[in-house]
Amino acid sequence: MVRSNEHAPDEPGRTRRIVVVGAGPAAHRVVDALVARQSAGTSTLDITVIGEETHAPYDRVALSKRLDGPIDLSLGQPESWTGVVRFRSGTRAVGIDPARRTVAVTSAAAGRATQLLPYDELVLATGSSATVPPIPNAALGRVYRTIDDVDEIVAATADIGERMGRPANVVVVGGGLLGLEAAGGLHRLGARTAVVHSGRWLMSSQLDEGAGQALGRIISGEGIELHLGRRPTEIASDASGAVTAVVLADDTRVPADLVIFSIGITPRDELARTAGLAVADRGGVVVDDRCGTSAPNVWAIGEVASIDGACIGLVAPANAMAEVVADRIAGGDAVFPGIDDATKLKLAGVEVASFGDAMARTDRALEVVYADPARGLYQKVVVADDAKTLLGGIFVGDASPYASLRPLLGRELPAEAGAYLSTGSGERPAGGDLPNDAQLCSCNNVSVGAVRAAVVGPHGDHADACVELGALKTCTRAGTQCGSCVPLVKKLLETELVKAGKTVSKALCEHVALSRSELFESVRVLGLRSADEVMRRFGTGLGCDVCKPVIASVLASQTSGYILDDGAGPLQDTNDRALANMQKDGTYSVVPRIPGGEITPQKLKVIADVAADYDLYTKITGGQRIDLFGARLEQLPEIWKILVDAGFESGQAYGKSLRTVKSCVGSTWCRYGVQDAVSMAIGLELRYRGLRSPHKFKLGVSGCARECAEARSKDIGVIATELGWNLYVGGNGGFQPAHAQLLAQDLDDETLIRYIDRFVMYYVRTADRLQRTARWIEALEGGLDHVREVVCDDSLGIADDLEAAMALHVDSYEDEWAATLRDPERLRRFRSFVNAPQTADPALARVRERGQLRPATVAEQSAGAAVLVSGPSIPVRPGGSGSEV
């Protein structure tokens, strides 16, 4: 037992100096917890965080996402902690003096001069470093621990490919969690990837042989080469010092341009060793169940802490340690609850989860196993000899039972163990059936009872309670880390609201009691064709600005008719009624479709002429289109007549529909391109143009893994491989950016289009109003796996129906502006003043800037800096009109 960490009770008005060495997730968590507890104490905290990296604390668990692009992994900036916290980045702690209670630090900013920081409480959260094997030329390898490591690996992989004129050969040494994440990410980048692992199967520390072999089959099937049961003995290099191969113990030479070590971690305990603190034989600062070290007022958390003889490299134990230390510093009596090594993640696109006694080491434990080698599926539930008490489990290929089983660890299962496997027909327990003391979120140690209490509220009457999923996650922290418990959090929320007699309504609004998906199906089954029919059947009153656009969208996506006919005109919002986007000064923008960003010089000249003749502000958009701003309502038909005659059509920039399909030049011009991205992008845009949907959606097509079209930031991303196309879904920019996730790999053209047809139409049918694809996938039971089952495996038996619905749209599509220009009655909508069709809008204040007119600000108008654009349209060319300043 190490020496206890006792401190004097808080003194009123006293400022307590706390130094946290390390700026990883554990450090961030302990600071958050200290700040949260400060208001409950009588003393004031002064917290200093020392971080060697230049980055603010970031989510190391999600580090592999950085392989797919420079995603922000920040856990929060120091300013979010309030003014009591100072974060010193690029600073290194070089010594501790427990007797004087000081930490010596140095930084480049201070000219490497040593500074002594006094402390009342010191928290060591220095984490670990990657272990490097003692083999010849090991220094030529790289490690995978930090953002900088990952960025350098990505840059090196691209540089090798560019210099060699072929994909880089990358060898990852280590087949554990991080190693497989690295291998999968680099494989997605187009590298030829191999994994060398000393164990006989992958993830041999977390998975049994059956699960490890199932995982290996799936990963090798993705094209990642596996060398199992063998260790590296040397990194071979050429005369210039460049890596050429990894030599294995049996003299096998695995070709390599880049070697990454991921064989384990070594605790960063050098500060503690030098200061004379107790250190475990295998490394790590020895701590007791309060996370106290052998020195008074010095604590250790995360990977550097050795508790019960082990250093743990998982987020849940690190968070638990951080909470214990924060509670102890605040005067509490918390103790470490024990090691929770449950994990659920995706490795190279494969779902893997394990928890509890996954290896069935408990005496007389029973294992219920289901394996389907052809599908790469392995599932095991471990129970006690009573066949009821849950002890643990392992899942590879389909980890959907994990969320239901994890909270029941150590308890009797409500159903037979086999009911939880993919062959089972039993009901998995809903969130409402779980006991209060069951752990719902292992990452943040949140119980079922804590979530229920947040829904009920402090007074038990749901007043001041968290009754929406987003708010519930924020106030309890459940589901905010790995996200695997979100379905149960949502179920708990709905169950508690129902218990309270509150209806969990899915109605569109007070006028339509159906949800959007229910309304869509009802309209489809009954064959309704007009807004009046829909409102008579399913609505009350006159409708509102919520339900009316939804009804119009549902009708448009099913009938492919002109969106303003059959009484649908009054249902649309301003933009759809004008077939253009209204701007802040009441004018409109004109956005012709430019499929795939490809345009002829002749068409480009037409756009330039229109912009010049109508003096329109012109801008190239982020979606490879040209936007013309400042057109008056009555000018829209004139402008579109010119554009339609030149072969343009509406870009639907005003609708909740397909916006753009962005592309790079692909194999047509680029020396790195492996597929014709331009042709594919044009084909996709022409296929899905005009399709009304719950929210706008965008596509991107990249001709190689360099991803110049930023396809993974789109709702649907298509990335070329040497074997075909990888299909990603559920990405978007906007207020809540999301990276698209891999749905299927190496598809031929026909299969790719078929899968996109199914995905888009399934989204159109089932998503909620104004729900983007990313949020839709999150909300679906089963998430991306469910989408994959529906789209790729036709699990619901509706693939033919979805494809037929898309074919109907494609066959019946007609450009809205071309249809408008042919019909005098439709043209009557485009008048600024109904009783005076030829009268122009009132004068518009403009300022000329960078050679173009833009709306004047209020200050510019007051200062007389604006000019007035006014007067009736005057002919300047056949079919056109102009404006005078």
Cβ atoms 773, 791 nearer than 8 A:
no
Q: Dig out the tokens for 43 from the structure.
A: 């003393």
In terms of Cβ atoms closer than 10 Å to its own Cβ (0-12, 13-18, 19+), residue 11 is exposed
Report the 10 Å Cβ neighbour count for 78. Answer: 20
CA dihedral of residues 174, 175, 181, 184 (deg, nearest 10)? 100
What one-character DSSP code corresponds to residue 767?
A: P
Q: Which residues contact 96 (CB under 8 A, 6 or more apart)?
A: 102, 103, 104, 122, 271, 272, 274, 275, 277, 298
Which residue carries 């391109």 as its tokens? 673
Three-state DSSP state, 679:
helix
Q: Which residues contact 316 (CB under 8 A, 6 or more apart)?
A: 340, 341, 342, 442, 443, 444, 445
Classify each residue of 369-407 as buried b or exposed e, where b means 16 or more C-beta atoms within 10 Å of its C-beta: bbbeeeebbbbbbbbbeeeebbbbbbbbbbbbbbbbbbb
Residue 670 assigned ligand-binding role: yes
CA–CA separation, 623 vs 597, rounded Å? Answer: 8
Q: Dig out the tokens for 55 from the structure.
A: 């980055």
- Kindly write down the DSSP assignment for every residue of 475-503, as one continuous string: HH-TTSSS-TTHHHHHHHHHHHHHHTT--
Q: Dig out the tokens for 7 from the structure.
A: 């401190």
CA–CA separation, 655 vs 575, rounded Å? Answer: 7
Q: Name residue 627's beta-bridge partners.
A: 619
Residue 792 assigned ligand-binding role: no
Residue 704 assigned ligand-binding role: yes
Q: Which residues contact 64 (CB under 8 A, 6 or more apart)?
A: 150, 178, 181, 182, 184, 185
Q: Which of 852, 876, 875, 855 is nearest to 866 (CA)?
A: 855
Q: Dig out the tokens for 754 from the structure.
A: 């078929």
CA–CA separation, 336 vs 301, rounded Å? Answer: 11
Residue 475 assigned ligand-binding role: no
Q: Which of 742, 776, 766, 781 is nearest to 400 (CA)?
A: 781
CA–CA separation, 80 vs 175, rounded Å? Answer: 37
Q: Which of 485, 487, 498 is nearest to 455 (CA)?
A: 498
Instruction: Assign residue 580 a region (left: φ > 0; alpha: ψ between -120 and 50; beta: otherwise).
Output: beta
Q: What's the sign of the alpha-carbon dihedral 22, 27, 30, 31? A: positive
CA–CA separation, 430 vs 426, rounded Å? Answer: 12
- Kindly write down the DSSP assignment for every residue of 372-401, as one continuous string: EGGGTEEEEEEE-TTS-BEEEEEEES--TH
User: Which residues sit in the known binding site for siroheme?
Assistant: 708
User: Which residues sit in the known binding site?
Assistant: 664, 670, 704, 708
User: Which residues sit in the known binding site for [4Fe-4S] cluster?
Assistant: 664, 670, 704, 708
